[in-house]
Amino acid sequence: MIPIPRRNTPDGQRMEKIHKECIDSMKGVAGCSILKCATPGDTTVVTGGIHEDFQLNRVLIRMRAKPPAGKLVVVCTKVEKEWRIARLAGIRGVPPEFVTDKVYDNEQDPQHDIFLMRLDEMPETDGFPEHFRQGWKRHDDQWA
C-alpha cells in the first residue's frame, strides 16, 4: 500500500511540484485534469502528471474516493470571474461552508490549494486495508 506522503518529504515535494505544473498548464481548460499540456491551455497533446507518476495517481484516487462529508470543493461565486474553496457538509440540502476568504480569478488555482490542504489533512495510512468498510449506502452516509 502506498502511504500518503507528508508535504515536507521528498515524495510530497515532488508530487506538489508536478501537481502545480499540471494545474498551470491547464489554465484556460474547463475542469481539472492533472496532466501537462504541451502548449499551455491546449489539450491536443497531454503528457506527464497522473500518466507518469504512479504515486500521485494513487493519492488522487484515494482523495477522490473519500465520502462527501467534509470534502473540499471549488465554488464559483461570480460566473467565470471568481472562485472560492468550500467544505461540503455531507448532508443533502445543507450548503457548503467557505473555508478561507481567499478569492481566485481562475478555477485551476483553488484546485492546487485543495490538493495541498488534503495532503495535510489525510493521515499517512489513509486507505490501508485495515480501514476498509464493505458496502455502500451505510447508515452514516447520509442517504436519508
Please identify every stretch of the chain with a pLDDT value under 70, giving residue numbers as ranges. 131-144
Asked whether residue 40 is assigned to any structural domain, the reply reads: yes
Residue 41, CA atoms < 13 Å, CB-side half-sphere: 4
> Could you tell me the residue range of the domain that residue 41 belongs to?
10-128
Asked whether residue 39 is assigned to any structural domain, the reply reads: yes
Global pTM reads 0.84
Asked whether residue 106 is assigned to any structural domain, the reply reads: yes
Asked whether residue 136 is assigned to any structural domain, the reply reads: no
Asked whether residue 144 is assigned to any structural domain, the reply reads: no
Number of structural domains the chain divides into:
1
**pLDDT of res. 40:** 87
Asked whether residue 3 is assigned to any structural domain, the reply reads: no
Specify the residue for cell string 502548449.
39
Spatial distance between the Cα atoms of 16 and 59, rounded to a whole number of angstroms = 12
Residue 18 in grid coordinates: 508536478
Asked whether residue 143 is assigned to any structural domain, the reply reads: no
Task: From 37, 79, 69, 35, select the one nearest 141 (Cα to Cα).
Answer: 69
pLDDT, tens digit (0-9, with 9 covering 90-100), for 13-51: 999 999 999 999 998 888 888 999 888 888 889 888 898
Asked whether residue 116 is assigned to any structural domain, the reply reads: yes
Task: From 91, 99, 41, select the one nearest 75 (Cα to Cα).
Answer: 99
Q: How far is CA 92 from CA 49, 88, 144, in A?
A: 33, 10, 9
**pLDDT of res. 41:** 86
Q: How far is CA 68 from CA 64, 73, 82, 144, in A?
A: 9, 10, 23, 14
Question: What amino acid occupies position 138?
Answer: R
Alpha helices in the chain (DSSP H): 10-25, 54-64, 109-121
